[in-house]
Every structure is written in structure tokens, then in C-alpha cells.
């Protein structure tokens, strides 16, 4: 049965271990572009892994083209995040300088707080200036170029690309992965415009050509979360789509598997016997978790800067707007429009959700214990160990969000009671 349906048996731990021992590591464009969104330390950890795997790394010509095409836009988007953060912090500082809004905070504490704002804004401005230099003096681009020198695939001819457009139309109509979620892209009569929806498909074909020509297994690393790459259940990512693995096996007669960037960083560290910091893995996961469209979509996955702001969506009278990443003086005042009874009702529902998360985490931990003695319960029989870990991590993240919601609503409730 395993030979007949390889896509449904790709998670076998022994097979994955052999795959890591003998494979080509192929990167997607979003993996390279996300390097601009990481902190310096996390970026260095990624580059360290790349350096050690250098002889086994490869990118398709399509990926290289997309990386170079979108590099400046990502740099610009990150600069805008610096601007939004600096402006938001300055407005927030101004609210603290107004003692009428904080009559119960001593001048000494307020002074410390304001000096902290000045220090943070100063550091953000320095980092923004350093980040802006990447437009003309791009150290990330230089390192990527050095690592992938001689490890980029060949482009397709115009005739081949015309054939791919026709093939792609049929595949997308039948929801054959990858790429069909991009069917609405493009527009225009020029070849490059008509190729707009087919970037993922072109990269996939070039990957198949490379693997077949070199007779290599492949591990593909992508930050793309869409359902034309991943099998999902109740919002949780289970693993690569079986259809992709089946097509790879039928064309190449070798093994294929996929990882999101954070999981790849962890597994690569284990494989190389190199310590990878949990902070770097968390940063990569956070920066990538909201990526749900391709790199041409204009969406900006949250980098470290976004996470600083998102850590405190509600501060005093201020609220972080999800549309602009600016603090707005709305949160508490809008919260006050809710009655104490409505706030209590919300709190109760959040507490129920918290208990559900705790119960699921306990079940997963019990399952992990069972698997140490080679037992798998019926509850999790469809998940391998990696998928089980992904479910655990996602549930922990859900729990953290719910805890924050509980804290915010308790604060709002206290404000309404006091007034």
C-alpha cells in the first residue's frame, strides 16, 4: 500500500532520517526574502545552517528571479514598519507626558518611562538607518549570492513558458497543486504578465527537472502556507499535500518532503548537531505564521518590529490598529461601551477556551508518552510525531493569545467598575 500511495506515508521517521542523509535542499523565494525580516542573530543562525549545507543547496531559476524582483519591496516594507513603530511610540510617549491621564503614577516613575521611550526610539531610528543602507549595500543579497553561487537552475525558453501557461490552465481548473490558489493573479498580454499565476508551478517543474536530472531526493523549504502546498485539518498544518509527493515520486522515482522555515531550522540543527536557539525558531515561526499568500501579494509577514507592537495591543488608553500598526486612542474608550455583563460574558467564553487548550495540551503530552513505548492512540493516529509537535506548538500559541484576551478584558472590566 505504501508503494501505491507514497504521499500518505511520507512522514515515516526512518524514511525522513534517510532523506536528510541524502537529499538536495531546495529553498523557496519567501525563505530568502524573510531573511530581511529577521533580527541579525536569527539571520546569522540561518546563514550558518546554509553555509554548512552549501554543497547540497539549490534554488530554481524562478525562485532566484522572484527573490531579486521582490527584494527592494521587502526592504521598503520593513522601513515603513520602522516608521510606524517610531511614530506610535512617540504618540504613546506624549500620552504619558500628560500627567492628567496618569494621576496615580509618580513623577519619578513617569520620568523613567519617558526616558525608556527615548532610548527605544533612538535605537529604532539607528536600526532604520542601517536597514535603509540595504538598498545599495545589501549584505543579505551578498551572502545569498555567495552561498548559491553555481547552485541556481537554468531558465525556461519562451516556447516552454508558453506551453506551461496552457498546461497550467488545465491543472488549475482541476485544482492540481501547486499554484492553483494563485489563479487570480496576472493580467495583460505580455508573456511576463500572463505568467503571473504560474510562478509556483514553474518553480515546481524546474525542481522536478533538477531532481530527475541529478537523481536526487529533495527537501523543499517554503514559507507558503496555502492549501495548494499543505494538507490541513481544522486550521492545523499536517504535512505536504500527498498529491505533490505522489507527482514527485512518479516523475523522479525518489523521495520528497517539505518543511516550513522554523521546522527546517530545528531539524537542520539536529541533523548538523548544531545548537539552534529557541528564540530564533520562535522568531522565524512568528514571522512566517501569517504568510498566506505568495510574495507578489504585497502582504507583509510580521517581523520582530511587528511583534514588539503586537505584544502590547492595549496600553493605557491606547490601542494598536491592525490596519496601520499605529497606536490609536480608542481601545479603552470603545471597551467602555460594553456593559460589565457583556465583558463578563466574554471573559467566561475565553476561560472555557483556555480550559479546552489545556485539555488538548494534556492529551498531546499523554500521547507523546505513549509513543515512547510504540503505542499510538486512536485520537492521534493520523498524525506523525512532527505533525503532533506542530499541533502542540499551535495550541500553545492559541493559549497565549487567549491569556492576553483574558488580561485585556479583566482590565476593561475593572475600568467600567471603577467608573
CATH number reported for the structural domain that contains residue 219 in this entry: 3.40.50.1010
Tell me the average pLDDT across 48-55: 96
DSSP category for residue 155: P
State pLDDT tens for residues 323-339.
444 444 433 334 445 56
Contact by Cβ (8 Å): 149, 51: no
Cβ contacts of 148 within 8 Å, gap of 6 or more: 57, 58, 59, 64
Q: Are 172 and 197 in contact (CB under 8 A)?
A: yes
Is 249 domain-assigned?
yes
Q: For residue 94, is it within any domain?
A: no
Residue 305 confidence (pLDDT)? 39
Question: How far apart (Å, rounded) are the C-alpha atoms in residues 165 and 107?
Answer: 67
Q: Which residues contact 260 (CB under 8 A, 6 or more apart)?
A: 221, 222, 223, 225, 237, 285, 288
pTM over 0.85? The answer is no
Residue 416 has a pLDDT of 56
Q: Which range has highest mean pLDDT (43-47, 76-80, 124-128, 318-322)?
A: 43-47
The answer to whether 244 and 256 are in contact (CB under 8 A) is yes
**Residue 350: its pLDDT value, please?**
77
Whether residue 266 is contained in a domain is answered as yes
Question: What range defines the domain where residue 21 resides?
Answer: 6-75+136-288
Confidence (pLDDT) at 286: 80
Tell whether 164 is covered by a domain: yes
Cβ neighbours of residue 294 under 8 Å, at least 6 residues apart? 30, 182, 185, 199, 200, 224, 226
How far is it, in rounded angstroms, from Cα 5 to Cα 242? 8
Query: Is residue 366 a part of any domain in this protein?
Result: no
What's the CA angle centered on 43, arms 41 and 46, to 5 degrees? 115
pLDDT of residue 381: 60
* pLDDT given for residue 335 in this prediction: 42
The pLDDT value given to residue 418: 47
- Tell me how far CA of residue 109 lies from CA of 3, 97, 102, 254, 315, in angstroms: 68, 11, 11, 64, 16
Lowest mean pLDDT among 129-138, 154-163, 303-312: 303-312
Mean pLDDT computed over every residue of the chain = 78
Per the model's pLDDT, the better-predicted residue between 217 and 312 turns out to be: 217
Which residues on neighbouring strands pair with residue 57, listed in sequence order? 25
DSSP letter for 180, please. Answer: G
Could you give the count of Cα atoms lying within 13 Å of 138 in the half-sphere of its Cβ?
18
Band of the pLDDT at 131, cuts 50, 70, 90?
low
405 in any annotated domain: no
Task: For residue 134, name the pLDDT band (cuts at 50, 70, 90).
Answer: low
Query: Is there a domain that residue 200 lies in?
Result: yes
Number of neighbouring beta carbons within 10 Å of residue 299: 12
Q: Are 212 and 251 in contact (CB under 8 A)?
A: yes
Q: Which three cell numbers stand for residue 381?
A: 493516529
Three-state SS annotation for 250-304 = HHHCCCEEEECHHHHHHHHHHHCCCCCCHHHHHHHHHHHCCCCCCCCCCCCCCCH
In a domain, 231, yes or no: yes
pLDDT digit string, tens, across residues 234-246: 777 888 999 999 9
Determine whether 339 is exposed, middle or buried from the number of CB atoms within 10 Å of its CB (0-12, 13-18, 19+).
exposed
For residue 379, name the pLDDT band (cuts at 50, 70, 90): low
Element (H, E) at 52: helix 40-52
Local confidence band at 377 (pLDDT 50, 70, 90 cut-offs)? low
**38 Cβ contact partners less than 8 Å away, ≥ 6 residues apart:** 46, 280, 283, 284, 287, 303, 304
- 385-395: per-residue pLDDT in tens? 777 777 787 77
Q: What is the pLDDT of residue 92?
A: 63
Q: Range with the lowest mean pLDDT among 54-58, 96-100, 267-271, 281-285?
A: 96-100
Looking at the DSSP bridge assignments, the partners of residue 231 are 239
186's grid cell: 496576472
pLDDT at 264: 96
Count of other CB atoms within 10 angstroms of residue 254:
18
Domain count, the chain: 1
State the pLDDT at residue 386: 76
DSSP 311-345: TTSEETTEEE-TTTS-EETTHHHHHTTS-HHHHHH
Amino acid at each position: 500500500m505504501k508503494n501505491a500511495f507514497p504521499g500518505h506515508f511520507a512522514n515515516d521517521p526512518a524514511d525522513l532520517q534517510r532523506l536528510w542523509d541524502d537529499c538536495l535542499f531546495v529553498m523557496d523565494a519567501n525563505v530568502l526574502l524573510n531573511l530581511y525580516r529577521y533580527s541579525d542573530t536569527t539571520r546569522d543562525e540561518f546563514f550558518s545552517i546554509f553555509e554548512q549545507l552549501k554543497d547540497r543547496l539549490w534554488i530554481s531559476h524562478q525562485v532566484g528571479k522572484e527573490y531579486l524582483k521582490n527584494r527592494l519591496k521587502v526592504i521598503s516594507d520593513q522601513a515603513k514598519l520602522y516608521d510606524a513603530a517610531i511614530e506610535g511610540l512617540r504618540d504613546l510617549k506624549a500620552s504619558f507626558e500628560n500627567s492628567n491621564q496618569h494621576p496615580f503614577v509618580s513623577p519619578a516613575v513617569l520620568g523613567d518611562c519617558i526616558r525608556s521611550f527615548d532610548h527605544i526610539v533612538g535605537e529604532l531610528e539607528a536600526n532604520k538607518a542601517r536597514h535603509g543602507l540595504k538598498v545599495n549595500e545589501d549584505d543579505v543579497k551578498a551572502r545569498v549570492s555567495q552561498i548559491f553561487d553555481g547552485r541556481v537552475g537554468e531558465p525556461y525558453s519562451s516556447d516552454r513558458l508558453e506551453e506551461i501557461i496552457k498546461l497550467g490552465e488545465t491543472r488549475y481548473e482541476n485544482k492540481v497543486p501547486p499554484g492553483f490558489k494563485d489563479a487570480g493573479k496576472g493580467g495583460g498580454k505580455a508573456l511576463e504578465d500572463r505568467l503571473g499565476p504560474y510562478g509556483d508551478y514553474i518553480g515546481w517543474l524546474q525542481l522536478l527537472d533538477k531532481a530527475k536530472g541529478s537523481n536526487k531526493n529533495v527537501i523543499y523549504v517554503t514559507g507558503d502556507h496555502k492549501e495548494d502546498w499543505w494538507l490541513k485539518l481544522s486550521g492545523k498544518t499536517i504535512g505536504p499535500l500527498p498529491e505533490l509527493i505522489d507527482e514527485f515520486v512518479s516523475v523522479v522515482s525518489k523521495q520528497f518532503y517539505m518543511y516550513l522555515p522554523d521546522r527546517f531550522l530545528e531539524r537542520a540543527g539536529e541533523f548538523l548537531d548544531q545548537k539552534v536557539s529557541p528564540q530564533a525558531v520562535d522568531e522565524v515561526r512568528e514571522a512566517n505564521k501569517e504568510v498566506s499568500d505568495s510574495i507578489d501579494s504585497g502582504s507583509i509577514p510580521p517581523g520582530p518590529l511587528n511583534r514588539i507592537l503586537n505584544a502590547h495591543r492595549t496600553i493605557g488608553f491606547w490601542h494598536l490598529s491592525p490596519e496601520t500598526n499605529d497606536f490609536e486612542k480608542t481601545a479603552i474608550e470603545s471597551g467602555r461601551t460594553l456593559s460589565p455583563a457583556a465583558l463578563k460574558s466574554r471573559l467566561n467564553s475565553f476561560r472555557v477556551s483556555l480550559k479546552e487548550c489545556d485539555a488538548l495540551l494534556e492529551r498531546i503530552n499523554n500521547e507523546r508518552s505513549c509513543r515512547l513505548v510504540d503505542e499510538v492512540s486512536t485520537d492521534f493516529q493520523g498524525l506523525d510525531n512532527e505533525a503532533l509537535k506542530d499541533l502542540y506548538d499551535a495550541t500553545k500559541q492559541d493559549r497565549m493569545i487567549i491569556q492576553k484576551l483574558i488580561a485585556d478584558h479583566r482590565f476593561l472590566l475593572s475600568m467600567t467598575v471603577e467608573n
